[in-house]
Structure 1
């Protein structure tokens, strides 16, 4: 019945089967899938969780449960189910793809790259698989790797303007501005009204110091998509760099109107107003940047200079201290992130002691860095030190609820 899209009739039969045998895993699974198709997400989750509990080796049950949780916007729980699915069935391309996309959304970029690499390995002739891997590598900061994947996608699907644009962005990240410009111009010949391509071309030209040409492209992007805040912001910065303070301020205000929580635009506006000696307005913009992003060290430091010019020495000193403290914390976080990533590579290579040492080093740099506690817990668990691993899992979850112990 379900295969014939007679979902409600199928649901009644599965429900009757469960009345007769409440722990029938297959009935929970099929009823959960039917409810998922009907968008009855709470019921779908309930039945699919039962299917997983009763038949934990059923990869499809984990996959559909992941889908239901994703549609309920429970990203972390969905990631856990997709991960469980591909652990059982690494060859399930749809599960690997969904896992990669959600890992990207959760900013678990290394894990996203791993999932997309598997997709590209399973389906080497799928251009979108290479494109997804390229985007993840770009997010990871591996521009050469991203370039290779976008080029593979274009070999499989020549002339695709989306892939050409992504390749251009990868060249931008590698600071190969001429190649980036060539890619954006090639794509624009096919889609001349693509605002994003005009914006990216404008950005590349700006980085080549071709400011007149850059402004023309940015203006065209603004005409095509006036609601895009980044276009206004980049226009504002470019005009500011040319000494056109009033037009720059107006573009930055337009960016803020398009995106009221745009902390960087408030900060840059405050900086422009400071240079115009509009100190009260500058202080207001900088305070708003800090309200939106309290750890914005540059905004604190610039506000300190503005307050000093206004004669508020106590306020200036307080902002200067805040800027210094935030800068130190960010330095500590960078060290912790580096050590944690190093530890993960060692853990994947099987070097438990080296990994544990790196995770402890990360925690020493930043004691409240949840990813380091979580990774240390995984390493300790693998080593058999279960009591300390449990403590580290608890600590990670206390610091960030996204870091939950893996299911046993």
Structure 2
């Protein structure tokens, strides 16, 4: 093909440009779309709110696409990245969660909740020392946060730093006297140390705060049963499993930091006929109306 344009071709091109265009041809005219960043961010925040609401109902398949799009529409909003990371953490997508949370941290280094979430990501991957560093950094920004203190205690517990764990649990309770999970976990430690009486007192205290808390109620039942108070223990154990049948699963108990001694005693307790009956009842589907 020749590199020059012939006169005829040039005339044809010029005549085409000078001819009136049909209305439908205007769709082919290129133009630059002007986007309003403020409107885009507003749409992103609206999507993030939807994602947060869906996440509350465990509808992660619907929540995650909205959160991802929100992070694109509002890329400088740390709360949107924090939401995305939190949802990914819920679905065990740890690498993606950490990337989103670090993005949130780069935008707002003073958000302690981001550091606590990073600690949770590391904790769930059994990177307990890294989790401790995250929790400590979060507590420097928010030193009296009961959840942060509790999580730090759990990380110490997993590294068998039991006095440090108890100290953090007690700090959590000092900030919130109704924070029964910390009281419960002190009981877990005491039981493993052979202090059954001390453990029972902790679990009794936890149950007095929340009578619907299945975990300390079951632990208390096991402790009382081994102590010899069997009739009361059986009633408590049956009640605990009716409240939440998941606590009849030893693997679930292990995930909740129950130690070897308590797990061994619980295994025997769960094999008792009346406890088995309560467990079977808790696993039956609800009758449809």
TM-score normalised to structure 1 length? 0.52
What CA distance in whole angstroms lies between the structure 1 residues aligned with 2:82 and 2:103?
Answer: 8
Could you say which residue in structure 1 is the equivalent of 2:122? 171
Could you say which residue in structure 2 is the equivalent of 1:112? 63
Could you say which residue in structure 2 is the equivalent of 1:320? 276
Could you say which residue in structure 2 is the equivalent of 1:388? none
Distance 1:175 1:262, change over 3 A: same
Deviations 1:161-191 (A, max 9, x none): 1211111111111111111100111222233
Distance 1:176 1:294, change over 3 A: closer
Q: How much is the aligned-residue C-alpha RMSD, in angstroms?
A: 3.2
Deviations 1:265-285 (A, max 9, x none): 211111222332332232122
Deviations 1:250-271 (A, max 9, x none): 2212222222211122111112
Larger radius of gyration between Structure 1 and Structure 2: 2
1:143 deviates by 2.2
Could you say which residue in structure 2 is the equivalent of 1:141? 92
Question: Does the 8 Å CA contact 1:196/1:221 hold for their aligned counterparts?
Answer: yes
2:191 pairs with 1:235: no
Unaligned runs of 5+ residues in structure 2 are: 1-39, 251-264
TM-score normalised to structure 2 length? 0.71
What CA distance in whole angstroms lies between the structure 2 residues aligned with 1:399 and 1:114?
Answer: 33
What CA distance in whole angstroms lies between the structure 2 residues aligned with 1:224 and 1:326?
Answer: 35
Distance 1:143 1:234, change over 3 A: farther
1:203 deviates by 0.7
What CA distance in whole angstroms lies between the structure 1 residues aligned with 2:279 and 2:242?
Answer: 14
Could you say which residue in structure 2 is the equivalent of 1:200? 151
Could you say which residue in structure 1 is the equivalent of 2:142? 191
What CA distance in whole angstroms lies between the structure 1 residues aligned with 2:280 and 2:240?
Answer: 17
Could you say which residue in structure 1 is the equivalent of 2:230? 279
Where relative contact order (Cα < 8 A, 6+ residues apart) is larger, the structure is: 2
What CA distance in whole angstroms lies between the structure 2 residues aligned with 1:303 and 1:162?
Answer: 35
Deviations 1:318-362 (A, max 9, x none): 6436647978x8xxxxxxxxxxxxxxxxxxxxxxxxxxxxxxxxx
Q: Aligned pair count?
A: 236
Distance 1:180 1:228, change over 3 A: same
What CA distance in whole angstroms lies between the structure 1 residues aligned with 2:65 and 2:268?
Answer: 46
Where do residues 207-246 of structure 1 align in structure 2 (5 Å cutoff)?
Answer: 207-246=158-197
